């Protein structure tokens, strides 16, 4: 199934969730950011939620959560659809209050395609990882924070690949210089390495 087409149908029938960051969103990893979550429905833009986060690489700690409860309920009545979490907006904001657990943090997982994105929130405590809710959105080009997360993932993956390649080069060099040096390993492993 082509999930990008499915997400577009959902957009046409029910609306779109857009997640944006401040224009002054920091480029470094250990910073704070302000995430705004909007709903686009029948040409109308409604801000549903504002989340203030501090983050250290991909682990986010929630500082504050603000929800416009009247607007949220108005949206539910207009389209007969709710954001996928069970708590009411007020309870949801209280649940994320920093006073709840000073030792917990929010882990955000990213899924990105050119036309569709998904943000999955988990609460991380000292003893467990708790699924909270998902946010899906269209038009990923307008969600800079998600693009940055994907770039960081690609960079790490490339670094690991390069490290592995360097290891193979070193092993082959050592084997060529002194095959007996690495006779604890199978020699044909090095003779077949394609660099």
Query: Per-residue pLDDT tens for 111-120?
Result: 555 555 566 6
**Boundaries of every domain in the chain:** 3-141, 143-195
- For 74: left if phi > 0, alpha if psi spans -120 to 50, otherwise beta; the answer is alpha
| Residue-averaged pLDDT of the chain | 55
The one-character DSSP state at 30 is S
pLDDT in tens, 35-58: 565 655 555 666 666 666 665 554
Give the Cα separation of 120 and 82 in Å (integer): 16
Predicted local distance difference test score (pLDDT) of residue 77 = 67
Per-residue pLDDT band for 185 (boundaries 50, 70, 90) equals very low
Burial of 15 (0-12, 13-18, 19+ CB in 10 A): buried
Tokens of 179: 């095959």
Q: What are phi and psi of 42, to 5 degrees?
A: 55, 40
Per-residue pLDDT band for 122 (boundaries 50, 70, 90) equals low
Give the Cα separation of 188 and 185 in Å (integer): 9
Whether this model's pTM surpasses 0.75: no
Tokens of 15: 């609306």
Predicted local distance difference test score (pLDDT) of residue 100 = 45
């Amino acid at each position: 199934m082509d999930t990008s087409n499915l997400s577009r149908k959902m957009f046409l029938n029910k609306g779109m969730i857009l997640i944006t960051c401040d224009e002054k969103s920091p480029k470094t990893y250990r910073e704070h950011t302000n995430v705004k979550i909007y709903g686009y429905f029948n040409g109308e833009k409604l801000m549903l939620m504002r989340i203030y986060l501090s983050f250290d690489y991909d682990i986010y700690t929630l500082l504050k959560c603000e929800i416009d409860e009247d607007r949220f309920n108005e949206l539910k009545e207009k389209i007969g659809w709710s954001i996928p979490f069970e708590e009411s907006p007020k309870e949801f904001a209280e649940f994320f209050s920093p006073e709840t657990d000073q030792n917990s943090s929010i882990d955000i997982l990213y899924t990105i395609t050119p036309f569709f994105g998904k943000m999955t929130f988990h609460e991380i405590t000292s003893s467990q990882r708790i699924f909270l809710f998902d946010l899906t959105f269209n038009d990923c080009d307008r969600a800079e924070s998600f693009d940055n997360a994907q770039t960081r993932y690609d960079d790490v993956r490339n670094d690991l690949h390069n490290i592995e390649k360097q290891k193979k080069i070193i092993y082959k060099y050592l084997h060529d210089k002194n095959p007996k040096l690495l006779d604890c390993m199978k020699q044909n492993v090095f003779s077949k390495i394609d660099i």
